[in-house]
Amino acid sequence: MIRIKRDEIYKILLDRENFYMKQYYSNFHKKEIFLAIKELKDGIYCILICDEENEQIDCLEAVQYIKTLGKAFSLNMIILSDKEEYTHTDNSPMANKLVINRNRSSVIYCDNSCIPIRHIFENANHEKNVRGEEKFFKDKSLTLILMGINIIVFLLTAFLSGNFIDIDSKVLLYFGAKYNILIQQGQFWRLLTCAFLHSGLIHIACNMYSLYIIGPQIQQVYGTYRYFIVYIFSCIAASILSYIMSPNSLSVGASGGIFGLIGALLAFAIIERNRINKNYISSLIQIIIINLFIGLSIKNIDNFAHVGGLIGGITAGYITYRTMRKYNE
């Protein structure tokens, strides 16, 4: 559940419930305090949001101020608490109370007179949770789809291999690994399908983690469709360089496409170098160098695929971002 903020509650009261804001100086807090007010036929309906530890003094000061307005009033307090239950013994009739656990953003106590406010709060909280979920999937939608495809294919190959740790090379060949002899026979689709295969559990775990971290950044910068173009182009570019420079290898893995995404971020950073922090470019270069060094330090890693994916990502990223900027100008 997403934690709701004090200002957001006031904004909802203003925008949706026809409240207006008043403020008064608090001698206790030594600052201006805001109060939401709604005009009714028989007086005014007031809502004050405060912390549990200050509720008594806040209530007294609010009442003193409201009395100066010269109207009949009902004071209702939204009290933010860190506790799991409300144990305050003050039964003062000066204010009705709605108590909310600020950590779980849930109601833990509500006077009958505050039920309408409770409904307002819970509806707003639900809407915020929905918006948070929508944003989560909006930023990560394509990344989650790509991860899902990779994981499903991996589970199929692991099942047929009878082994999740090391996938049988014959199974990888059957599913479309990059293998020069078969590509030369016309099976060009292997240049792409190999990017959705993995040789073992550790291999796919590392690649999917990297994709989950980098992918949403690409989607925010380039958008879904350009992200897809950059990724696919990078995968194919990685396979082509591997085909040329590693003719005897059987290659699989999403790492070429992931290097391509890093390359696309670098292209974006170079284009927008005058608008973003220069340290961002140096950080990306450091990440690229470190990952290439790691690849060189481990056996059976197709580093030419990594370099090919990086070059493909920089190229596709530069072209697509330039095109996008030109279109938006």
Enzyme catalytic residues = 255, 306
Residue 237's contacts (CB-CB under 8 Å, 6 or more residues apart) are 256, 260, 308, 309, 311, 312, 313, 315
Q: What are phi and psi of 97, to 5 degrees?
A: -130, 135
Burial class (CB in 10 A: 0-12, 13-18, 19+), 269: buried
Integer angstrom CA distances of residue 222 from 120, 225, 269, 276, 317: 37, 8, 12, 16, 8
- Tracing tokens 């950080």 back to the chain, one arrives at 283
How far apart CA 153 and CA 56 sit, in angstroms, is: 61
Burial class (CB in 10 A: 0-12, 13-18, 19+), 154: buried
- Could you tell me if 278 and 256 are in contact, meaning their C-beta atoms sit under 8 angstroms apart? no
- Could you tell me if 80 and 97 are in contact, meaning their C-beta atoms sit under 8 angstroms apart? no
How far apart CA 85 and CA 81 sit, in angstroms, is: 9
- Tracing tokens 């696309």 back to the chain, one arrives at 264
How far apart CA 104 and CA 1 sit, in angstroms, is: 7
Pairing of strands 73-81, 96-101: parallel
What the block records as the tokens of 253 is 């893995």
Alpha-helical regions (H) of the chain: 6-16, 55-67, 115-161, 169-175, 180-184, 190-193, 201-222, 224-245, 255-271, 278-297, 303-328
